[in-house]
Structure 1
């Protein structure tokens, strides 16, 4: 973790307040200022129906949104009061390859951030390191003051 050793514990505390992460199965792998890595294991209930039964695109989009939000949250300084909120105002997802099993890893990074908005890029790779999806997001930051 570069720069701020308090980031991961703070993120884990926030994640604990979002039961949806547990429902989907997203876990925090690493966090540093402006970057996060999240993981999502393939489960039967996350597969599409039909012959191929690949990881549902909605699960991938959720992972991208979660990585973007988490990377944004790493920007809050230790001395800064908790933010009033964070909202995804725009998100684009490109699906590049099907995921048939195993785990996917999302790397989210802040491209640019101001006081009230952040722009992010997220790459999702399979266990072999192949790029399976890419996303971009714009997050609104609602600071305490």
Structure 2
């Protein structure tokens, strides 16, 4: 077993960093007080990376986790951030398809999920009276909304060119 406590991580060779990370994950998975699972927000964000860097199954995970109402995450206002992130990423993929780029999944499933997310957000944000108590929500929420607006503008540009 590797003991990483004696060296700062930045001074370890890459193979030992990977080994230390795997060990940490394994220890966390075995810890009954630990709860590690894929998260919608994080998974949505990795879909913005080049396809070669996206973990296999990321898009399928995101599509499977969408709820009937078009949201992702908790049933209350805490669903805003994961829903914004998922919608932004799916819209980005939809824009890529509109530009003629290939994506990993089925383009119609991706665009349908994105539009369902947008529909949910349009109703939820319009009726929102109070932000959920989340770290940096006042930064994250506007940034994700702006990302969605920019992607929708890009989609409009591509559509107008056709």
Tell me whether the two structures share a fold, i.e. TM-score over 0.5: no
TM-score by length of 1: 0.30
More strand by proportion, 1 or 2? 1
Larger relative contact order (Cα-Cα within 8 Å, sequence gap ≥ 6): 1
**Normalized against structure 2, the TM-score is what?**
0.27
